[in-house]
Amino acid sequence: MLNMKKDQSEALAGISTLQVGVAWKTSGGGQKGLMGRFKRAVGTDLDLAAVALEDGRPKRLCWFDNEDAFDNGSLITTGDNRTGKGDGDDETIIARLADIPAAIDTL
């Protein structure tokens, strides 16, 4: 397992599966009280996405509305968590590098 942080780079030689997860804590939402209920304030929703590029141009987008970008399980998301509640990662994207089409050069 390789744990990375923002702005860190690592060589991916020998890596066959890349899994990226994000977690967040819920916010208090918008207004509280009667107006908050009326407006249905629910807090923050974070959405994780991956863009597959070919020669620098976007070819596929993997996110909660397109859970299997290539329809072969090579670039998938585990779904949409709208609340941030619970332990561990709230949203995850998994890339099976050997199965991603050869023309894709950047994720």
Predicted pLDDT at 60: 93
Nearest to 49 by CA among 71, 70, 79, 7: 79
- pTM for the whole thing? 0.73
Residue 7 tokens read as: 């702005």
| pLDDT over 70 at 98, yes or no | yes
